[in-house]
Amino acid sequence: MLGVCYYPEQWGREKVKEDLSQMKDLGLQFVRIGEFAWSRIEPHPGLFDWEWLDEVLDTAESLGLKIVLGTPTATPPKWLIDRYPDILPVDREGRIRQFGSRRHYCFSSPSYQRESCRIVQAIASRYGRHPAVSGWQTDNEYGCHDTTRCYCPRCREAFQRWLKARYKTPEALNRAWGTVFWSQEYRSFEEVELPNLTVTNPNPAHLLDYFRFASDQVRAFNRLQVDILRAYSPGRFITHNFMGAFTQFDHFALTEDLDFASWDSYPLGHVEWGRKFYELREYFPHSGHPDIAPLNHDLYRGVGRGRFWVMEQQAGPVQWAPRNLSPAPGMVRLWTWEAFAHGAEVVSYFRWRQAPFAQEQMHTGLLRPDSTPDTGFAEVARVARELASIPLPPLKPSQVALVFDYEAAWVFEIEPLGEGIQYLPLVLSFYSALRRLGLDVDILSPQSTFSGYRLLVIPSLPILSEAVVERLSTFQGAIVFGPRTGSKTSHFQIPRELPPGPLQKLLPLRIVRVESLGTFPEDRVTWKGKQYPVSRWREWVETSLSPQGILQDGKGAIFGDNNRYYLAFWPDDTFLLDFFEELAQKAGITTTRLPEGLRLRRRGDLICAFNYSPENREVPAKETAQFLLGGRILPPYEVAIWRETL
């Protein structure tokens, strides 16, 4: 099903009927509204103007459109900030972040927690049972614009309370953090500051606990809204629109309080943004990276316990990336189909009409500012027709799973140890290699049971608990562990038995030294007679196992025992492709090496193919394939869907 993000407050009441009817005619079922409309809902303290919103909801109802109602807490109005200036957050440099854009609030502010509850309760008590309201979106993109971590006095106090609950005594905290180093010892929790504005690196355990605390604060803030919505709006779903691969808070944890996950997909924006941080191979400026949006679909399906939406789907050029390219013709349709192939329940476009004013005036939508259809409009109309004619069977569980961990991202962020050593690029290269082999991937949290898969891939899991090792020890399939796995305790210390810590129970090896390398190939690993470049990272291993791959100095880099493998270096994508191919074959998983820019995704007995490249590609369909969409030769930016009959 399809939807759109709409801002009726920006267009005046006379437009509503016309806009909603046109959405209906386009084949949309859902309309998300309200998430930035606080100043129109409550223009003065305690004075509510519901009329315009009543009208939108009633019109939607009369047309049979379903509304996703956003709570407006991402944009507290000016009068509220003036009343309670302690709502404003403080940045890492200690500066107050002022009113004038959005997300100008601190998750720990007691005034803001109270005021958010008040506005959510007002809206939910008015519309909670409205027949047009199918569900709720809490706030908007938690953490966007670097707002997860705040350094204000409210956060300092809340952090001290959090530490006290965790450690009970200052002595325990001192031991856990190792504060004897550099005379950092604390006599009470009240002495502990936030880890910003220090002369050089703060204590890494201090940082890690602060990151955990900040993550918990986001969840607690969201929970306040969820509890109110549940009480006033029975039978409606609650979701939140997360951002693409954003790691500053634990999305698995927060989503435990929601019905499913949603995320905002801007494939060209993400790719341009990503390119600032790491080198992306196999990327096409006008269609994106064939694995970045899919990685997020799979991640959010995992986060959402099998259920996810794309709440905002790029429908034309955005305005916020380093360069803002125009999607190749066909890409809006392709991105939509790709989302459904990965199990999305709804894809909702951003936004209905481009606004000629304010911060996002250069951000396109389905309509131009003068209400004429922009190019995405016709593609959406086409997808709507196609969706109506192709019933999609449910997803089957994949044979391959990848473990994703937010804490792992924090460990890499706190202690990269070298240039370009980041968690997300590592995850992307593991994921990409699997996808280039034509495999479907489920993404799991370390908390899951892992059972039922034939191959489990763990790009890195620095903090590895005994409980996870326990579950891994009974896992039946093959497991691949990437570098730095098991390298830290939960207090950010080197494990007593040396890395990989508790993983030594599954693999008899010890990491006795690590070395960070350049971002260019500085070493080579030889595996099965072939050489592969190594950059960024390598480890020295002591073990009784004989190596399956060796580095240039003859030292072992790939170890395997009992169907479990450890990679003691930063693997590049050419290595991962060959390595996973062999493991998959051993595990009885069929692979298909796909040409550049072509990807597959199965949904029940349907196989979907996507061509991100600017050239024709042949899809690997059997002779007997029955095409429901497209054909064997896939032109650029096209989609094919087929069924393989016996």
Q: Who's near 601: CB < 8 A, 6+ residues apart?
A: 294, 338, 341, 342, 440, 607, 608, 610
Cβ-based nearer residue to Zn ion, 89 or 549: 89
Query: Of ligand GAL, Zn ion, none, which one does residue 363 interact with (CB within 5 to 8 Å by kind)?
Result: ligand GAL
Query: Of Zn ion, ligand GAL, none, which one does residue 340 interact with (CB within 5 to 8 Å by kind)?
Result: none
Name the E strands within 111-160. Answer: 133-137
CA gap 544, 254 in Å, rounded:
42
Q: What is residue 68's three-state secondary structure?
A: strand
CA gap 390, 509 in Å, rounded:
52
Residue 194 makes contact with Zn ion by CB under 5 A: no
Q: What is residue 359's three-state secondary structure?
A: coil
Q: Say if residue 351 is preceded by a cis peptide, omega within 30 of 0.
A: yes
Residue 267 CB, nearest distance to ligand GAL (Å)? 11
Q: Pick the catalytic residue: 141, 338, 379, 581? A: 141
**Contacts of ligand GAL in 294-323 (CB under 6 A):** 312, 318, 320
Interface residue with ligand GAL among 350, 492, 537, 642 (CB under 6 A) is: 350
Residue 81 makes contact with ligand GAL by CB under 6 A: no
Helix axes 110-127, 204-232, angle to 10 degrees: 30
Choose among 262, 275, 281, 292: nearest CA to 610: 292
Residue 37 CB, nearest distance to ligand GAL (Å)? 12
Residue 102 CB, nearest distance to ligand GAL (Å)? 8
Interface residue with ligand GAL among 115, 209, 250, 264 (CB under 6 A) is: 264
By CB under 6 A, which span of 23-31, 140-148, 566-574, 609-617 interacts with ligand GAL? 140-148
By CB under 6 A, which span of 23-31, 138-146, 390-398, 577-585 interacts with ligand GAL? 138-146
Q: What is residue 282's three-state secondary structure?
A: coil
- Write the DSSP assignment of 491-540 as a string of letters: TS---TT-TTGGGGGTS-EEEEEEEE--SS--EEEEETTEEEEE-SEEEE
Query: Of ligand GAL, Zn ion, none, which one does residue 106 interact with (CB within 5 to 8 Å by kind)?
Result: Zn ion
Residue 528 CB, nearest distance to ligand GAL (Å)? 45
Residue 9 makes contact with ligand GAL by CB under 6 A: no
Interface residue with ligand GAL among 151, 266, 284, 537 (CB under 6 A) is: 266
Choose among 441, 436, 482, 437: nearest CA to 459: 482
407: annotated active-site residue: no
- Residues β-bridged to residue 136: 69, 238
Interface residue with ligand GAL among 363, 484, 488, 564 (CB under 6 A) is: 363
Residue 319 CB, nearest distance to ligand GAL (Å)? 7
Residue 144 makes contact with ligand GAL by CB under 6 A: yes
Cβ-based nearer residue to ligand GAL, 250 or 312: 312
By CB under 6 A, which span of 136-144, 172-180, 382-390, 554-562 interacts with ligand GAL? 136-144
141: annotated active-site residue: yes
CA gap 376, 365 in Å, rounded:
8
Number of residues in contact with ligand GAL, rule: CB under 6 A? 11
- Residues β-bridged to residue 367: 353, 373
Residue 141 makes contact with ligand GAL by CB under 6 A: yes
Residue 38 makes contact with ligand GAL by CB under 6 A: no
Q: Burial-class residue 605 by CB neighbours within 10 Å (0-12, 13-18, 19+).
A: exposed
Name the E strands within 562-605. Answer: 564-567, 598-603
Query: Of ligand GAL, Zn ion, none, which one does residue 333 interact with (CB within 5 to 8 Å by kind)?
Result: none
Interface residue with Zn ion among 71, 73, 75, 108 (CB under 5 A) is: 108
Residue 363 CB, nearest distance to ligand GAL (Å)? 5
Query: Of ligand GAL, Zn ion, none, which one does residue 108 interact with (CB within 5 to 8 Å by kind)?
Result: Zn ion
Q: What is the DSSP letter of 617?
A: E
Residue 106 makes contact with Zn ion by CB under 5 A: yes
CA gap 460, 445 in Å, rounded:
12
Residue 184 CB, nearest distance to Zn ion (Å)? 23
Query: Of Zn ion, ligand GAL, none, which one does residue 332 interact with (CB within 5 to 8 Å by kind)?
Result: none
Cβ-based nearer residue to ligand GAL, 101 or 201: 101
Choose among 461, 484, 423: nearest CA to 277: 423
Q: What is the DSSP letter of 327?
A: P
Cβ-based nearer residue to ligand GAL, 141 or 638: 141
Beta-carbon neighbour count of residue 521 at 10 Å?
Answer: 13
CA gap 537, 541 in Å, rounded:
13
Characterize the bridge pairing of strands 441-444 and 400-403.
parallel
Containing H/E element for 298? helix 292-303
Cβ-based nearer residue to ligand GAL, 140 or 255: 140
Q: Which two tokens stand for residue 349?
A: 């476009």
Block residue for tokens 């009959």: 645
Query: Of ligand GAL, Zn ion, none, which one does residue 312 interact with (CB within 5 to 8 Å by kind)?
Result: ligand GAL
Q: What is the DSSP letter of 239?
A: E
Q: Mask of contacts with ligand GAL, 547-586, x by CB under 6 A?
A: ----------------------------------------
Cβ-based nearer residue to ligand GAL, 266 or 404: 266
Residue 155 makes contact with Zn ion by CB under 5 A: yes
Q: Pick the catalytic residue: 115, 272, 312, 638? A: 312
Name the E strands within 168-240. Answer: 237-239
CA gap 251, 303 in Å, rounded:
7
Block residue for tokens 């040396």: 498
Interface residue with ligand GAL among 140, 203, 215, 336 (CB under 6 A) is: 140
Please state the length of the chain: 646
Residue 222 CB, nearest distance to Zn ion (Å)? 16
Are 537 and 418 in contact, with CB atoms under 8 Å apart?
A: yes
Cβ-based nearer residue to ligand GAL, 79 or 320: 320
Cβ-based nearer residue to Zn ion, 98 or 562: 98
Using CB under 6 A, list all residues that contact ligand GAL: 140-141, 144, 264, 266, 312, 318, 320, 350, 360, 363
Catalytic positions = 141, 312
Using CB under 5 A, list all residues that contact Zn ion: 106, 108, 150, 152, 154-155
